[in-house]
Amino acid sequence: MLPELLTPINAERAAPYVLDDRFWLQQKRDGVRLIVHRQGQQIEGWNKQGQRVAVEPTLVSALLSIDIQSFTLDGEFEKRGGYHCWDLLNADGSDLRAHPYSLRFQTLQAFAAYPVLKILESWTTSAEKEAMIFELHRQHAEGVVFKNSEAAYRPGRAGQHFKLKFEKTATARVRDVDPVRDRVSVEMLDGDVWREVCGLKVPNGTLHVGQYVEVKYLYSTPDQRPVQPRFLTLRADVCQTDCLLSQVSCGGKWNR
């Protein structure tokens, strides 16, 4: 089951989505993408790539406590923050994917009584959205998401929903591991060619060649090399097509 993915935009392209009331604003979470499906006493999970994955036992137990025997939810799981949910794909055998997002989100509110699910708050007017963008930026949130409230569910990067990151991050692949120093080099795809882009300081033995990582950086050089890169986390839910060099943009941090 492949989830619907967000299209990245920069701050200069955000204004139309702030002004258009069809687009709702939500906080971008920093967890692991996870679709969960319950059928009776069975719980299944899928990651960002549409691959089956194990669901944390604590989340399984919590989902089985819900008084609804069949449902499919889309969200992100954070080990410390729980399951943050923003979409309901089906419930009690009714497929909701062809309905507009506004109806799916309204139906999702039936799950709000269960504390295991943290349903993302949405802001709908231009005034609310502008205020929350600056407030979330002040709180050092990862970013915001613009959701098309009229859109049916479309798997993959369908170009219906958009993400604006406040800090620059990129997905890369480990190219080399220094056997002595606490350092690895990472690479990204430049067309069909893997290109080394930067080095990362990590404890020796932490990472291995071929693993995917998320990198945070301050800005990039004209030839798209991240400046002041820092290792954020391992990524088990991505593939090589997520490592395109085009995700690295020149310029400084998002600002007001």
Looking at the fold, whether 157 and 183 belong to one and the same domain comes out as no
* Domain membership flag for residue 234: yes
Q: Give per-residue pLDDT as tens, 84-122.
A: 999 999 999 899 999 999 999 999 999 998 888 899 999
CA 52 → CA 34, 44, 96, distances in Å?
Answer: 10, 7, 21
In a domain? residue 220: yes
Considering 118, 139, 165, which residue would you say is the last residue of a domain? Answer: 165
Radius of gyration of the chain (CA): 19
Q: Could you read off the pLDDT of 214-226 as tens digits, one per residue?
A: 999 998 998 899 9
* Domain of 47, in residue numbers: 7-165
Indicate whether 43 and 159 sit together in one domain.
Answer: yes
Number of domains in the chain: 2
Q: Verify that 72 and 145 share a domain, yes or no.
A: yes
Please give the pLDDT value at position 251. 53
- Domain harbouring 178, CATH code: 2.40.50.140
Alpha-carbon distance 57 to 196, whole Å? 38
Pair 121, 218 in one domain: no
Residues 129, 179, single domain; the answer is no
In a shared domain, residues 107 and 182: no
Average pLDDT score, the chain: 93
153 in the same domain as 218? no
**Cβ-contact 34, 47 below 8 angstroms:** yes
Considering the domain boundaries, does residue 129 fall inside one?
A: yes
Same domain, 161 and 197: no
Residue 255 lies in a domain: no
What pLDDT, on the 0 to 100 scale, is given for residue 116?
83
- What six digits make up the tokens of 204? 């020796």
Count CA atoms closer than 13 A to 148's CA, side-chain side: 17
Answer whether residue 30 is part of any domain.
yes
Same domain, 150 and 196: no
pLDDT at 6 over 70: yes
184 and 220 fall within a common domain: yes
159 and 173 assigned to the same domain = no
Q: From 165, 197, 227, give the residue that closes a domain.
A: 165
Q: State residue 247's pLDDT score.
A: 86
Boundary-marking domain end, from 108, 141, 165: 165
For 12-43, what is each residue's pLDDT tens digit?
Answer: 899 999 999 999 999 999 889 999 999 999 99
Domain assignment present for residue 108? The answer is yes
Residue 252 within a domain? no
Looking at the structure, tell me whether residues 105 and 221 fall in a common domain: no
Assigned token pair, 35: 């679709």
Per-residue pLDDT of 50-81, as tens digits, reads: 999 999 999 999 999 999 999 999 999 998 88
